């Protein structure tokens, strides 16, 4: 009797040890993901559960957002840091530089497999592209937001955050550049843009399409970006505390030079024109552009249209006027690449190479 009892005890102990080991093994297998919070609607709260506009963004701290999605702990070893707490229309170069430096510090650590950045959707595409150009790692970086506040019926924040953590911890996302993932879709930072003021399917990649889907707790990729990004870029912000001023001048019928002159007087080293059509420049704007070039201000022709290539010597004599074209980058993305380009050179041929590279 005693012998069987001892045998039972020892096998129970073995079972418990094995279960303990398997739980430890499962934990060890979970990716380590750090969530860097900056604010936005995903951290927003509304007066009632049906408030989906007119709520307050940037209210919940990162630990509260993580606690609101207990399923996160099943898919990754997650911890959070609060980098900022702002509505993203108020994003600044200072927050960008702080975020970029922290992302690079974390991704250099062996015990970090990926980073998620929670962010307001208004400028998510700009922050994502900025990071696409300055993150020095192939590890996944996923920028995520939501279109409904955390207090709303069918809030999209929790599922977007859950999917973003899975994506950031996945092997499939390694080497894909910075990703923007909401609404079960995966977009490349270079091309994604907000296309609707308030619906949950607002993020699109016009014409070129998104990279894949988040479905059934895993990423499904069907495309990759063809442009250099993250570990392959030439830009380094580790020692920068500011960025060159670059402004955007919106093109429209009957425009004049007042806005461009004011931007240059305020210290702009570069101007991106969100031109009509194929980045066309109004005849009455050419004197302002020639004056800008004489002052050494770089002028990039982009377009307000939203998709397609702005090609050299199409709607303007770029060679003769010594201008740069944005290729397929929209004006807000072209501004970011020009800001970083100007930290390295004012040579228009070198800058044009960058617009054909990234």
Bind-site residues for substrate: 88, 121-122
Quote the CA–CA distance of 263 and 247 in Å, as a whole number: 6
Using the contact rule CB under 6 A, the part of the chain among 85-93, 96-104, 286-294, 336-344 near ligand DGL is: 85-93
Q: Quick check: 304 and 276 in contact, CB under 8 A?
A: yes
Count how many residues are written for the chain. Answer: 358
Q: Considering the candidates 38, 52, 118, 121, report the single residue annotated as catalytic.
A: 121
Site string for ligand DGL, 22-51 (x = CB under 6 A): ------------------xx----------
Q: Which candidate, 94, 108, 214, places its Cα nearest to that of 165?
A: 214
Residue 88 or 193: the one with the smaller Cβ distance to ligand DGL is 88
The verdict on whether 121 is a catalytic residue reads yes
Interface characters, 101-130, with ligand DGL (x: CB under 6 A): -------------------xxx--------
Backbone dihedral region for residue 116 (phi beyond 0: left; psi -120 to 50: alpha; all else: beta): beta
Q: Which of 62, 63, 45 is nearest to 54 (CA)?
A: 45
Question: Distance of CA 332 to CAs 39, 125, 250, 273, 328, Å?
Answer: 21, 9, 11, 10, 12
Distances (CA, A) of 271 to 176, 202, 245, 247: 30, 28, 9, 5
Does residue 182 interact with ligand DGL by CB under 6 A?
Answer: no
CB of 241 to ligand DGL, least distance (A): 25
Q: Residue 305, Cβ neighbours under 10 Å: how many?
A: 16
Q: Is 151 a binder of ligand DGL (CB under 6 A)?
A: no
Q: Which range, of 60-68, 142-150, 234-242, 280-288, touches ligand DGL by CB under 6 A? A: 142-150
Judged by CB under 6 A, does residue 144 bind ligand DGL? Answer: no
Q: Which is nearer to ligand DGL, 152 or 351 (CB)?
A: 152
- Nearer to ligand DGL by Cβ, of 178 and 324: the residue is 178
> Whose CB is nearest to ligand DGL?
120
Q: Out of 88, 183, 303, 330, point to the residue binding ligand DGL (CB under 6 A).
A: 88
Contact 36, 128 (CB under 8 A): no
H/E run at residue 292 = helix 286-294
Other residues' Cβ atoms within 10 Å of the Cβ of residue 85: 16
Beta bridge partners of 280: 276
Does residue number 57 form part of the binding site for ligand DGL (CB under 6 A)? Answer: yes
Site for ligand DGL in 190-229 (CB under 6 A): none
Report d(CA 168, CA 243) in Å as an integer. Answer: 28
Q: Work out whether 83 is an interface residue with ligand DGL (CB under 6 A).
A: no
- 41 given a catalytic annotation: yes
Nearer to ligand DGL, 59 or 228 (CB): 59
Among 46, 114, 140, 145, binds ligand DGL (CB under 6 A): 145
What is the nearest approach in angstroms of ligand DGL to the Cβ of residue 40? 4
306 touches 206 (CB < 8 A): yes
CB of 163 to ligand DGL, least distance (A): 16
240 by Cβ neighbours in 10 Å (0-12 / 13-18 / 19+) ranks as middle
Contacts with ligand DGL, residue ranges (CB under 6 A): 40-41, 57, 87-89, 120-122, 145-147
Residues forming the active site: 41, 121
């Amino acid at each position: 009797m005693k012998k069987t009892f001892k045998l039972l005890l020892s096998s129970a102990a073995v079972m418990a040890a094995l279960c303990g080991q398997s739980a430890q093994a499962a934990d060890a297998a979970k990716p380590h993901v750090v969530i860097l919070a900056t604010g936005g609607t995903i951290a927003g709260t509304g007066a009632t559960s049906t408030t989906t506009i007119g709520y307050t963004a940037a209210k919940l701290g990162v630990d509260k957002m993580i606690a609101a999605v207990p399923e996160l702990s099943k898919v990754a070893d997650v911890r959070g840091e609060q980098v900022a707490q702002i509505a993203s229309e108020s994003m600044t170069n200072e927050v960008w530089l702080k975020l970029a430096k922290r992302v690079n510090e974390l991704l250099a650590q062996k015990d970090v497999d990926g980073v998620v950045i929670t962010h307001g959707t208004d400028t998510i595409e700009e922050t994502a592209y900025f990071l696409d150009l300055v993150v020095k790692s192939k590890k996944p970086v996923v920028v995520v937001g939501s279109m409904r506040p955390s207090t709303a019926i069918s809030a999209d924040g929790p599922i977007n955050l859950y999917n973003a953590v899975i994506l950031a911890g996945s092997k499939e996302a390694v080497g894909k550049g910075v990703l923007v993932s909401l609404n079960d879709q995966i977009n490349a930072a270079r091309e994604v843009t907000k296309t609707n003021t308030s619906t949950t399917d607002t993020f699109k990649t016009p014409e070129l399409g998104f990279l894949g889907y988040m479905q059934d707790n895993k990423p499904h990729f069907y495309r990759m970006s063809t442009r250099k990004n993250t570990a392959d870029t030439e830009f380094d912000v580790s020692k920068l505390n500011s960025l060159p001023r670059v402004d955007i001048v919106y093109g429209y019928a009957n425009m004049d030079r007042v806005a461009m002159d004011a931007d240059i007087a305020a210290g702009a080293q570069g101007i991106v024109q969100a031109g009509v059509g194929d980045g066309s420049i109004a005849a009455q704007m050419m004197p302002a552009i020639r004056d800008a070039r004489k002052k050494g201000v770089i002028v990039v022709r982009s377009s307000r249209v939203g998709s397609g290539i702005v090609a050299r010597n199409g709607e303007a004599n770029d060679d003769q006027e010594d201008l740069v074209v944005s290729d397929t980058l929209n004006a807000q993305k072209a501004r970011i690449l020009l800001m970083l380009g100007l930290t390295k050179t004012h040579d228009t041929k070198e800058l044009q190479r960058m617009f054909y590279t990234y």
